[in-house]
Amino acid sequence: MDLKISKKVISTEKVECNLCGSSKSEYVTDGKDYLHNCTNQNFTFVQCLDCSHLYLNPRPKINQIDLIYPSDYSTYERQFGKKGTFLTFLKDFILVNRFKKIEKYLPKKPKILDIGCGDGAFLLALRRKYPTSQLYGLDFKFGSGVKEELNQANISVIESTVENVKFNNIKFDLITANQIIEHVWDVSLVLKKCYKILGKNGIISLETPNPNGWDRFFFYSKCWGGYYIPRHLNLFSKKHLKIALEKHHFNILEQHSLLAPPCWIYSLHFFFASKGMTKIGKKLFSDTSIFWLATFALIDLIAKFFNAETSNQKIIAKKNN
């Protein structure tokens, strides 16, 4: 049994559907913070009865941000491995490879903002590709040494939430936000802001969990990795993500399912944690195990071959000027 039991109380708020504004919803599932154990509270995902969007309700208030993102908080990307290892090489390769889908829409020397840049690995990979472009990384908290490393690569660093950030007269050619939109409190505000700071024909590229991922079926009750309670506030199906962007004057260029081995590993961790066996889950399904990452990637690849949706998705859209 896990001995670490947190007693913190997270203050919550009831909300309406972020997508259509309806207050009518029905229960889908509930669960706890199986990753950081920031509280003992149970949180509930509901589905909007008018548009079927999935969201956390009640959800933590924004002033609880430091409680639900404790100082030892690390995303999967951030804990993916030490520099110079095969895993970091693999991560770089995947990031750069996925970028190929975007680069055809960009000018030769694009001005790029990465929202939620984490350890900056993606920006550093982009710096190798674009030695003289203006690159910006935004995150609400940076790990030690990250800012210095990015500054050394001539990448501008901004420490702020996306809701509060201000840009003076900078217009970007591209905004990337990978695994971010599901975390933000005000999706509309963030998309409006992205629209405003993109230049003419600017591109936005988002990656976010897909609740229609086929593997959610196996972990439907409480522990699917994409729930990530209580930090994922909105979970967008492909249809709903498209609607959200179109509502904010973006034209969709491409939408894809992405392989989602990290989500599988989270699901298994959360499953074991929900049974009080956190350590066993982490030991059996290490998040840095090449074997499991490759196995789940292969399983998702086969699912994609049969046209199934996976638990991760990418959307690329263009600003409707």
Residues in touch with Zn ion (CB under 5 A): 17, 19-20, 22, 48, 50-51, 53
Residues facing 179 on adjacent strands? none
**Smallest separation (angstroms) from Zn ion to the CB of 111:** 35
Please, are residues 9 and 53 in contact by the beta-carbon 8 Å criterion?
no
Q: Which is nearer to Zn ion, 50 or 92 (CB)?
A: 50
**Smallest separation (angstroms) from Zn ion to the CB of 51:** 3
Number of alpha carbons in the 13 Å side-chain half-sphere of residue 243: 11
Q: Which is nearer to Zn ion, 19 or 68 (CB)?
A: 19
User: Other CB atoms closer than 10 Å to residue 73's CB: what's the count?
Assistant: 15
Q: Which is nearer to Zn ion, 16 or 103 (CB)?
A: 16
**Smallest separation (angstroms) from Zn ion to the CB of 24:** 8
C-alpha span between 48 and 61 (Å, rounded)? 20
**Smallest separation (angstroms) from Zn ion to the CB of 212:** 16
What is the DSSP secondary-structure string of 143-191? -TTHHHHHHHTTEEEEES-TTT---SS--EEEEEEES-TTT-S-HHHHH
Sorted by sequence, the CB contacts under 8 Å of residue 288 that are 6+ apart come out as: 79, 80, 81, 87
Q: Which is nearer to Zn ion, 26 or 72 (CB)?
A: 26
Please, are residues 237 and 182 in contact by the beta-carbon 8 Å criterion?
no
**Smallest separation (angstroms) from Zn ion to the CB of 15:** 11
**Smallest separation (angstroms) from Zn ion to the CB of 16:** 8
Q: Which is nearer to Zn ion, 22 or 160 (CB)?
A: 22
Q: Which is nearer to Zn ion, 30 or 50 (CB)?
A: 50
Residue 124's nearest CA partner among 178, 88, 87 is 88
